């Protein structure tokens, strides 16, 4: 099951993180009507990592910045991530990986994106990524990497730039 977060939809419920009771309203519904299409951002937690607070915080910030966010939930396989991105017609894919398994997970996701001819969909990554892995991940095709404490405005600006959209602030 996927949860869709979009700025102009009414909340249908609350998703609660069992670890720290972080609450995020869920929004479901049709695309918002704007002059430019609302970017659709898929946020996924691949692998066995069960800590998703960061992914939820980023999802909410992107929603508040005017993007539609599809959050896939925990423990997604690379195949599930790419299938969801294809099905949801995602404009960008964000992965949150804290488990240390970022290299094999990203490699497989990039392979699957190429198989589906989706290599033009920007892939960005957040989590615990050792500095020595950053150049290898960028070479694989990861467009942006954000570690703990990354500035949310930087993440939002990066995604608006990556999808070629106009932010709410730019549109005003």
CATH assignment of the domain containing 102:
3.40.50.280
Structural domain for 148, as ranges: 3-163
Is 44 within the bounds of a domain?
yes
Q: Does 89 map to a domain? A: yes
Determine the Cα angle at 91 with ends 81 and 37, to 5°. 140
The verdict on residue 101 lying in a domain is yes
Q: Which residue has the higher pLDDT, 30 or 45?
A: 45
Q: Does residue 65 lie in a domain region?
A: yes
| Residues pairing with 145 in the sheet | 125
pLDDT digits (tens, 9 = 90+) for 86-133: 999 999 999 999 999 999 999 999 999 999 999 999 999 999 999 999
Q: Which residues on neighbouring strands pair with residue 146, listed in sequence order?
A: 126
Assign 31 a pLDDT band (cuts: 50, 70, 90): very low
Q: Please indicate, yes or no, if residue 172 is contained in any of the structural domains.
A: no
Answer yes or no: is 168 within a domain. Answer: no
Higher pLDDT, 23 or 162: 162
How many CB atoms neighbour CB 128 within 10 A?
A: 14
Within-domain flag for 170: no
pTM of the predicted protein model: 0.79
Count of domains forming the chain: 1
CA distance 82 to 63: 21
């Amino acid at each position: 099951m996927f949860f869709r977060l979009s700025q102009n939809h009414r909340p249908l419920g609350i998703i609660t993180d069992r670890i720290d009771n972080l609450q995020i309203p869920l929004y479901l519904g049709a695309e918002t009507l704007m002059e430019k299409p609302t970017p659709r951002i898929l946020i996924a937690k691949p692998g066995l990592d069960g800590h998703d607070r960061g992914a939820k915080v980023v999802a909410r910030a992107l929603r508040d910045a005017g993007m539609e966010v599809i959050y896939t939930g925990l423990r997604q396989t690379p195949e599930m991530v790419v299938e969801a991105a294809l099905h949801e017609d995602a404009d960008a894919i964000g992965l949150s990986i804290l488990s240390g398994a970022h290299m094999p997970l990203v490699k497989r996701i990039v392979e699957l994106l190429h198989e589906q001819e989706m290599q033009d969909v920007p892939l960005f990554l957040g989590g615990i990524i050792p500095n020595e892995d950053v150049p290898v991940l960028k070479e694989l095709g990861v467009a942006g990497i954000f570690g703990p404490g990354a500035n949310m405005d930087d993440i939002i600006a990066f995604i608006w730039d990556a999808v070629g959209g106009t932010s709410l602030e730019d549109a005003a």
